[in-house]
Amino acid sequence: MDVDPRAVAAAVRRTDSASDERIAVDCPEPSPLHDAVGCIRPEMGLRTRTALARAGRTRGLETPYDEELRETRRELDAIAVETEPLESHRERVTEAEAAVEQARIRAAEARGRVRERSESGLDPAPAESELDDALQTLSEAETDAIAARQAYERDRRRQRERRDRRERRFRLEERVANLERQARSHLVDRLRDEFRGVLSRVPGATVTDEPAEPFEVDSVTAALAVAHLGDISAPVVVGIDRFGSAVAASAWLEAPVLYI
Amino acid sequence: MLLVIAYSREARQSLRNVCRSHDESVIRRFGRVALFEATEFGAFQALRLREKHGEAIQLEQTVPFNEFESVRPDVREAVAAYEDRETPFLPYEQFQTGSDLPSPTEMKERDLPSG
């Protein structure tokens, strides 16, 4: 059967997209580490530092930033940002005020016609009734515009309150991101030497000795090293030919393997 | 000018991208705030951001500030007098007490003419 390793990995991760209907995998919930190195194939990409930090987490490593991180995330969750859109009335107020302008012009014209007819000795009555209508329309348009303006102002005030909340949220998000960066680099620092040491032992690695730039090695070698260092319980999809067998792959990764 | 403020990390990223690719329509950018030129194209870029990020993008249009138009003379006189004071650490509140200068409370209650 010809299957794409990515489709198998999608089945392991139970993501709907890119999954192959022929495949179903019943297995433990994949960890964030599995997201990074759970599908090893020749053309894979890898953010090695991030993956290495995740491997450290699977081994229960902690950082001095964890407590603040948990607290900040809790604070962040507590601030709800409204998803319900706020009707801003921008369009309504513009249209209502334009309608008033129009009605004003029409009323002035009607008034002009009444005057004209009177001055030229004609019966002003027909023009007068037209003027009454125009004035009635104007008064309605004005009422409407006042209501629209009030709604607009009220929503501007509500927008401002919502933005205050967004501002607080934004700052917390920034703090979380900073703490995550710090925690990650703490974990990477702790695991750097171990990672460097394991690289030359990775099956099929072209790396000899301990490379000076361990994060520059090819993605497959890095992924195999990271997966070896971390604890993985969901099956790793292996789509490369560096191992002779599924057993050999499983022995290196110390994890269940789907060998393709 | 058009004032554009981003209220989320994603919105800030988009704002950065717009500023980078449309340098000529951006007058200034400070972190997650930018001033776009008041042209249709500036508005186009600003509205694109709001279309994408909704309320996480705030848009305002700024107007040049002319104090001779918007502020009564008393306030301008108060500014000159206070900046010219001899005791640098004297708060304005105390400085104006007993004088004809407007009090902070009085000034807080008066809005500037809009527009």
pLDDT of residue A14: 82
pLDDT of residue A1: 58
Predicted confidence band of residue A76 (pLDDT cuts 50, 70, 90): very high
Residues A230, B46: Cα–Cα separation, whole Å = 46
Residue B114 in domain:
no
Torsion of CA B53, B4, B14, A47, to 10 degrees: -100
- Count up the domains in chain B and report the number: 2
Distance (Å) from the alpha carbon of B12 to chain A's nearest alpha carbon:
10
Which residue is it, tokens 């334009």?
A98
CB B62 within 8 A of CB B1: yes
Using CA coordinates, name the residue in chain B closest to A173. Answer: B9
Same domain, B12 and B40: yes
Query: What three-state secondary structure class fits A122?
Result: coil
Same domain, B28 and B48: yes
Interface contact flag, A167 B7, Cβ < 8 Å:
yes
* ipTM for the predicted complex: 0.76
Same domain, B40 and B80: no
Using CA coordinates, name the residue in chain B closest to A164. Answer: B7
Q: A167-214 pLDDT, tens per residue? A: 999 999 999 999 999 999 999 999 999 999 999 899 988 877 778 888
Please check the confidence at residue A19 and state whether its pLDDT lies above 70: no
Residues B18, B26: Cα–Cα separation, whole Å = 9
Same domain, B24 and B56: yes
Q: B55-96 pLDDT, tens per residue? A: 899 999 999 999 999 999 999 999 999 999 999 999 999 999
Nearest-10 crossing angle of helices A219-229, A246-253: 60
Domain assignment of residue B71, given as a range: 67-107
> What percentage of chain B carries pLDDT values higher than 90?
95
- Using a CB-CB distance cutoff of 8 angstroms, which residues of chain B are in contact with residue A167? 7
Please check the confidence at residue A82 and state whether its pLDDT lies above 80: no
Among A82, A85, A166, beta carbon nearest to B7: A166
What is the rounded average pLDDT of the residues A13-21?
71
Same domain, B76 and B99: yes
In A92-203, the DSSP E strands lie at none
- B55: Cβ–Cβ under 8 A, 6 or more apart, which residues? A82, A85, A86, A159, A162, A163, A166, B7
Express the helix, strand and coil content of chain A in percent, nearest 5 each: 65, 5, 35
> For residue B105, what are its two tokens?
């409370």
Residue B41 in domain:
yes
